[in-house]
């Protein structure tokens, strides 16, 4: 499984946001995207996820395992996203959040899988908690598990470490990178912090497109 972007360009109000991007991420690897605030990093991720707003126009190709993603509905893309803030339903317990994210299937199987996932990172005691009862680091880990429960074929990481304190951040980052390697899925990470870069050979600095008039 690989994720490939070919000459991807996004415009807003007929102005290109950044120089066209081409990159390939192999299974189990993390490609880091950096660049100045507002240059379009999150927008690029939303294009890959299939959630790009109508105010943007985009061109170029996205290929997952060699197959074009454009035209595939969001819910069928199998692309998971982690944001700065954990994405959890406040009215559902941790276990319910995870079961909700799992693909359609037997309810009993879902529960067992969710419990096993929580156990694998030592959070089994949090199964019945509501998101407000979790610490920042616990919420980040549950959010990761929830994203993984959907069994994504690729992962997009939009500054998921930036709000965590230094120690929690290092632990969570290690967990995310190990998980990506174990699941053998490609990932793109947006970050402002050099410390987050998983691999110095896989970094792209997005630059604002110079508009010539
Ligand atoms: N919903 C929206 N409607 C209109 N313009 C938007 C919208 N979302 C983002 N933009 C604009 O698109 C551009 C790119 O925004 P984006 O959030 O992708 O940048 P970024 O590189 O991720 O920034 P940061 O590093 O600050 O998170 C910015 O000029 C922003 O103002």
Q: Which atom of ligand 1 is nearest to the CA of 159?
A: 27
Residues with CB under 6 Å of ligand 1 are 12, 17, 35, 37-43, 53, 55
User: What is the structure's pLDDT at 105?
Assistant: 66
Distance CA 19, CA 4 (A): 16
User: What are the pLDDT digits (tens) for 20-64?
Assistant: 999 999 999 999 999 999 999 999 999 999 999 999 999 999 999
User: What is the structure's pLDDT at 201?
Assistant: 84
- Ligand 1 atom 11, closest CA: 38
Buried b (16+ CB within 10 A) or exposed e, 85-98: ebbbeeeebbbbbb
User: What is the structure's pLDDT at 162?
Assistant: 92
Distance 106 CA to ligand 1 centre (A): 40
Residues 6+ apart with CB under 8 A from 62: 3, 4, 5, 6, 8, 47, 48, 68, 69, 70
User: What is the structure's pLDDT at 1?
Assistant: 87
* Plot region of 14 (φ>0 → left; ψ -120 to 50 → alpha; else → beta): left
User: What is the structure's pLDDT at 212?
Assistant: 45
State the pTM of this model: 0.93
Q: Which atom of ligand 1 is nearest to the CA of 53?
A: 1
User: What is the structure's pLDDT at 49?
Assistant: 96
- Ligand 1 atom 25, closest CA: 37
Mutate to test the pocket of ligand 1, among 19, 33, 39, 188 (most ligand atoms within 8 A of CB): 39
Q: What percent of the chain has a predicted confidence (pLDDT) above 90?
A: 83
* Burial of 113: CB neighbours in 10 Å, binned 0-12, 13-18, 19+: middle
Let me know if domain 3-78+152-205 sits in CATH 3.90.1300.10: no
* Burial of 6: CB neighbours in 10 Å, binned 0-12, 13-18, 19+: middle
Distance 147 CA to ligand 1 centre (A): 23
The residue extents of the domains of the chain are 3-78+152-205
Q: List residues bridging with 81 in a β-sheet.
A: 156
User: What is the structure's pLDDT at 52?
Assistant: 94
* Burial of 11: CB neighbours in 10 Å, binned 0-12, 13-18, 19+: middle
* Burial of 210: CB neighbours in 10 Å, binned 0-12, 13-18, 19+: exposed
Residues in the chain predicted with pLDDT less than 50, given as ranges, are 211-213
User: What is the structure's pLDDT at 207?
Assistant: 83
Residues 6+ apart with CB under 8 A from 78: 64, 150, 151, 152, 153, 154
- Ligand 1 atom 17, closest CA: 42
């Amino acid at each position: 499984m690989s994720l490939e972007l070919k000459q991807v360009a996004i415009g807003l109000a007929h102005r290109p946001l950044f120089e066209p991007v081409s990159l390939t991420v192999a299974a189990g690897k993390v490609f880091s995207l950096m660049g100045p605030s507002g240059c379009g990093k999150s927008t690029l991720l939303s294009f890959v996820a299939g959630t790009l707003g109508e105010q943007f126009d985009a061109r170029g190709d996205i290929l997952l395992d060699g197959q074009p993603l454009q035209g595939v509905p969001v819910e069928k893309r199998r692309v998971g996203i982690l944001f700065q803030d954990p994405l959890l339903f406040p009215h559902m317990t941790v276990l319910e959040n995870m079961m909700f994210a799992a693909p359609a299937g037997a309810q009993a199987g879902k529960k067992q899988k969710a419990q096993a996932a929580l156990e694998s990172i030592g959070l089994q005691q949090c199964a019945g908690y509501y998101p407000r009862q979790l610490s920042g680091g616990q919420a980040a880990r549950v959010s990761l598990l929830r994203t993984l429960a959907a069994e994504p074929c690729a992962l997009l990481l939009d500054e998921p470490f930036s709000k965590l304190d230094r120690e929690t951040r290092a632990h969570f980052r290690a967990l995310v990178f190990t998980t990506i390697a174990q699941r053998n899925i490609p990932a793109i990470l947006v970050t402002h912090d050099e410390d987050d870069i998983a691999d110095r050979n896989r970094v792209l600095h997005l630059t604002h497109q110079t508009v010539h008039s």
